[in-house]
Amino acid sequence: MKQYIIKRLLISILVLFGVSILLYSIAQMVPGDYVTNITSGNPNITAEMVEQMREAYGLDTGPVEGYFNWLSKAIRGDFGTSFVYQRPVTEIILDYMPPTLALAGIAMVLELLIAIPLGILAARKQYSVTDYTIVAIAIMGISLPTFFFAAVLKRIFAVGLGILPISGMVDARMDYEGFALFLDLARHFVLPIAVFVITGVGSYLRYVRTNMLEVLNADYVRTARAKGLPERKVIGKHAFRNTLIPIVTLVGGMIPGLFSGAVITEGLFAIEGLGNIALNAVYAGDIPYLMGFNMFIAALTLLGTLVSDILYAVVDPRVRY
């Protein structure tokens, strides 16, 4: 196991190197840059001033030279200084990570708590009214555009009923502390988490249902039922345990997906997290932050894959590396 982990970490370093090249190339191909965005339409800005600003921000170099300048600093843990916030990118990521981590973490737990039991229930009652209802609701959730569903929830619960805040993280008119502050944060997180869960749980539910149907039709499950075992033990001990490997694979890819999905949701609800900052960075052409954020997502993806592979040995004793 130790040799396997070391090998995977070395491969991950090579993958991150390749990903960094692709990300930097894409960032360079985007029309316009930060200096162009902030100087466009200002008649008082001369061409000489623009060139001086491009030099000050390090935008006067070619893509190859610029990439190796960025890489030489990134290897030492320095991902540059954000153009917009004038702060180190690493510091921004650490400061704005807690809201995104809380939003993504809670959403992930709720999605699993909903998808696993409903997927098992739908598989047990295949082709019944219960199965069709669960699958229909799942497909409806998958089909809902995030921005549209967020607008509907805002209209109903924030504007219409007035029971939940429409955006932000805290009530600007109040100065809460302690547990009252926690409750205020929780109220502001209800709608974003609802958008996350309802639009994302459907795909996981169908995944669990499909794998559970395959297991329930296996010979050893029919044998367990033929022996007279209770259905609860057949499902919990024999069937569900053998569906854990695909579920573990699913969980490994959920974390980076939730962080990247926060770009839209946090922007819609004005939550000051990594996603909202990344959205602003795209508009402004803030290359250092975009590189740091995307490399963070890439590292999470590789870490999630590695954790999934390691957990295979936990859920299935037959798996050995």
Name, in order, each residue with C-beta under 8 angstroms of 234's C-beta and a sequence gap of 6 or more. 221, 224, 225
- Kindly state whether residue 115 falls inside one of the protein's structural domains: yes
- Kindly state whether residue 170 falls inside one of the protein's structural domains: yes
User: Could you tell me the CATH number of the domain that includes residue 182?
Assistant: 1.10.3720.10
What's the rounded Cα separation, in Å, for the pair 28 and 99? Answer: 29
Report the pLDDT value the prediction gives residue 320, as an integer from 0 to 100.
60
Report the pLDDT value the prediction gives residue 136, as an integer from 0 to 100.
92
- For residue 176, the enclosing domain spans 93-281
- Kindly state whether residue 26 falls inside one of the protein's structural domains: no
| Six-digit token string for 244 | 């854990």
Number of domains in the chain: 1
List Cα–Cα distances, 25 to 128, 154, 299, in angstroms: 51, 38, 18
Report the pLDDT value the prediction gives residue 133, as an integer from 0 to 100.
92
Report the pLDDT value the prediction gives residue 129, as an integer from 0 to 100.
92
List Cα–Cα distances, 208 to 22, 214, 234, 245, in angstroms: 34, 10, 17, 11
- Kindly state whether residue 134 falls inside one of the protein's structural domains: yes
The per-residue pLDDT string of the chain (321 residues; one tens digit each, 9 = 90 and over) reads 677 778 878 888 888 888 889 888 887 777 767 777 777 777 777 777 777 777 777 777 777 888 888 888 888 888 888 888 888 888 998 888 888 888 888 888 898 899 888 988 898 888 899 989 999 988 988 888 888 888 899 999 988 888 888 888 877 777 777 788 888 888 888 999 998 889 888 888 888 888 888 888 888 888 888 888 887 888 877 777 777 777 777 777 777 776 776 778 888 888 888 888 888 888 888 888 888 888 888 888 888 888 777 777 666 666 665
List Cα–Cα distances, 223 to 3, 120, 123, 212, 229, in angstroms: 39, 19, 18, 16, 9
What's the rounded Cα separation, in Å, for the pair 239 and 235? Answer: 5
Report the pLDDT value the prediction gives residue 311, as an integer from 0 to 100.
74
- Kindly state whether residue 124 falls inside one of the protein's structural domains: yes
- Kindly state whether residue 59 falls inside one of the protein's structural domains: no
Name, in order, each residue with C-beta under 8 angstroms of 48's C-beta and a sequence gap of 6 or more. none
- Kindly state whether residue 109 falls inside one of the protein's structural domains: yes
- Kindly state whether residue 296 falls inside one of the protein's structural domains: no
Is 23 in contact with 278 (CB distance < 8 Å)? no
**Count of helices and strands (H, E) across the chain:** 13, 0
Is 154 in contact with 191 (CB distance < 8 Å)? yes
